[in-house]
Structure 1
């Protein structure tokens, strides 16, 4: 026989105090704020965080392969193909066969691609300055150093 259910009053306000003590929770919440704002910044340029990142890496590393780009972005190569196809379709990058390896493609940014990347980078830098304005210079440096150490790429 089942116990009768007792009604419980609804919580007026949810407390996440326990979760706020967890670094991962705070990192994710901060990332959500940054990601949402960045999406609004890049939308007028018809870019997303991932397409901006890919275009920037290609513009900064002329001739890198799709495999190298996938590794740099930490995404699976099949997922990268969609991004590369989009950027190439928009005339922002070129994909050329690598002379010694017909299966590999070297990527390079076109002039319109470099110009769009430059405009997007200026917008992203302004976005970061605005988002991080709540930190003083020492706090910002400490944050950057801590994140680099957590990533393990110091």
Structure 2
């Protein structure tokens, strides 16, 4: 016996997808905004032959000369084996060097080369311009509120909340 189909159950062609329910979730909104930022950042970093992760690693190494690979992995919140690929790429491009730590022969201290520091300066300037362009029209108080919210979310995760 065939069930009667109500008008609500009939198949209709969707002409525009509504994500109204999803837009009510902070995580979804953050992800959508991140997609915009990430896409523009990739285009910004392309002339420097950097990706978001290699750029992040280079900046952290320049800002923290002598840091160990394990410290970099922790700072970037990535697994140490995944970091090796990033470090190898930066070293292959002669942007950084790995020096053995005299007190721990298993550890390496990471330092930027002159070429690495020069690329850092140019790429940081480009990323600064990228952020200014994307955040044009967003007032400083709103940006401060968003940054505080992001920090609170991170802290809640660290604290196990």
Q: TM-score, normalised by structure 1?
A: 0.93
2:92 maps to 1:89: yes
Match of 2:20 in 1: 17
Match of 2:146 in 1: 143
Match of 1:114 in 2: 117
Distance, in Å, in 1 between the alignment partners of 2:148 and 2:12 is 46
Distance, in Å, in 2 between the alignment partners of 1:141 and 1:128 is 14
Report the CA distance between 1:143 and its aligned residue.
Answer: 1.2
2:133 maps to 1:130: yes
Q: Deviations over 1:101-149 (max 9, x none)?
A: 1111000000110110110000001000111113111111111111112
Match of 2:76 in 1: 73
Task: State the SS of the aligned residue for 2:50.
Answer: coil
Distance, in Å, in 2 between the alignment partners of 1:80 and 1:16 is 36
- After superposition, the Cα gap between the structure-2 partners of 1:49 and 1:2, relative to the gap in structure 1 and judged at 3 Å, is farther
Task: State the SS of the aligned residue for 1:18.
Answer: helix
Cα RMSD of the aligned pairs, angstroms, is 2.0
Aligned residues: 153
Gaps of at least 5 residues in structure 2 are 4-8
